[in-house]
Amino acid sequence: MSKPLILVSNDDGITSKGIRVLVTVMKKLGDVVVVAPDSPQSGMGHAITIGETLRLEEEDIFEDVKAFKSSGTPADCVKLAKHYVMKDRNPDLIVSGINHGSNTSISVLYSGTMSAAIEGAMEGYPSIGFSLCDFSSNADFSHVEEWVEKIARQVLVNGMPKGVALNVNFPPKQNEEIKGIKICRQAEAKWQEEFDERFDPNGRKYLWLAGNFVNFDKGEDNDEWAIANNYVSIVPCQYDLTAHHAITQLNKDWDWEELKK
């Protein structure tokens, strides 16, 4: 029997430290193909390239791994992989990351890392987004490799619910070992944003997005709590954004006959 085929992508770019770690781990589990952005694409969300050229070039960057860099977004990379690079064989697993920085709570909506995983789920494949809650370019990934392998193995063996991708976040390297894994919900938190007014060397004003992350959630079953307490957080995510609980309320409380007048 052939080995599992694993697609690796990310949003930090094909030369990032995190994707090198992820490729190394995935090579233990199967045949690996990489399709990743040619430059950092953090915060791109689920953007795709429409009306502009997409470029795709093969790169000899990983040992014994076929790899391609793309001018597109993380979601573009998964589309290109599925429908162009790997069109003759379906992947058994799609993994994205390992992201340099947290993708907990509301950040999942902005994350290019998770958008690659969500795109995989939309295509019907088991998909995982991995992130390390350390924004340093020299972040230490050594403590997460065994957990990446364990989680990926579980998905390969047990599969995933249809339309679901896993958002996996790791705490930064600490003196104590990671305590374990928590299957969590997304924390109720948000970015409180502000725009700094700044001036370029020519005296022209520009704006720079800044702000602080604020956690309103006091529960102990969410991803923010898990990371703060040195656990790996796993949040099952879906691309169906329907607020199902609101359908009944809207049908009950809104006067549709009145709106016709």
Which amino acids are annotated as binding site for a divalent metal cation, given as ranges? 11-12, 42, 99
Q: Could you tell me if residue 55 is left (phi over 0), alpha (psi between -120 and 50 degrees) or otherwise beta?
A: beta
Tokens of residue 136, six digits: 């340093």
Residue list, annotated binding site: 11-12, 42, 99
* Contact in structure between 9 and 96 (CB atoms under 8 Å): yes
d(Cα 71, Cα 85) in Å, to the nearest integer?
Answer: 15
CA–CA gap between residue 59 and residue 73 (Å, rounded) = 17
